[in-house]
Amino acid sequence: MSDPRLSIEERYRSRDDYLERVRRAAAALASQRYLLDEDIELTVALAARAWDHWTA
């Protein structure tokens, strides 16, 4: 059984593209008060670690 979803590398142009999308999504959540402003960079850092792990 194979996974029909696109790989992370097929979904995003690059690591920077992925992290920018994460940053924009986190900022949107912060503007809606679902995330603290000071947690945006932490969210991006965790996403960077996840990208590095998934694409290693």
Say what the pLDDT of residue 44 is: 98
Residue for token pair 């996403």: 47
Say what the pLDDT of residue 50 is: 96
Between CA 8 and CA 47 the distance in angstroms is 12
pTM of the predicted protein model = 0.87
Say what the pLDDT of residue 9 is: 82
